[in-house]
Homo-oligomer: A and B are copies of this chain.
């Protein structure tokens, strides 16, 4: 019985490190987060971090990779295939907002990476972001072809749509200080999707 229990209780140090690091990187950024801090939060020795990851940067990169894999899957699963263009757009908005709301830490890590113009940003764009962008772009292009949306620069509007969504999470610290207290109590997932959907659809409708 000791065998089984120890297997259950046994803490998977690598995963504990990843979880702790994710929170700390999101809160404080890469540079301001020390390896000792990560180890402390994970309840393990500093050297363990270097046992599983070669460098602090490799750990960071690992977290970003996991995040994008997770999101790309959500996006593919969340957008209905047989639907019309407007419904697909609504799905996209819903998936983005729902995911970001539950993974704020991930968004902040990637945002920091973007601003920092890190060496990895090229790889990240090619491997992940451009795929997600193309998926949304193709929905809008399809809508234009079918006449659901008017003729316009679909590349720019794709960027604007994603921009309208991400912006709320990017500037959330400022947003919660600007909107009224009663609305502040409602989770962002309740009022934001419809607002962005209406604004965007009216702007591109045929």
Contact = CB atoms under 8 A, between A and B. Distances in A.
Contacts of A199: 157, 160, 200, 203-204
User: Which bucket holds chain A's interface residue count?
Assistant: 35 or more
A29 B116 contact: yes
Interface in A116-166: 116-117, 121-122, 125, 129-130, 133, 152-153, 155-157, 159-160, 162-164, 166
Interface in A189-206: 191-192, 195-196, 198-200, 202-205
A167 interface: yes
Contacts of A31: 29, 31-32
Given A31-B31, A133-B178, A159-B178, A195 B115 contact: no
Given A163-B164, A164-B164, A199-B203, 18 more contacts: A29-B29, A111-B170, A114-B171, A114-B174, A115-B115, A121-B174, A125-B177, A133-B178, A155-B178, A157-B199, A159-B168, A159-B179, A160-B167, A160-B195, A160-B199, A166-B167, A170-B170, A202-B203
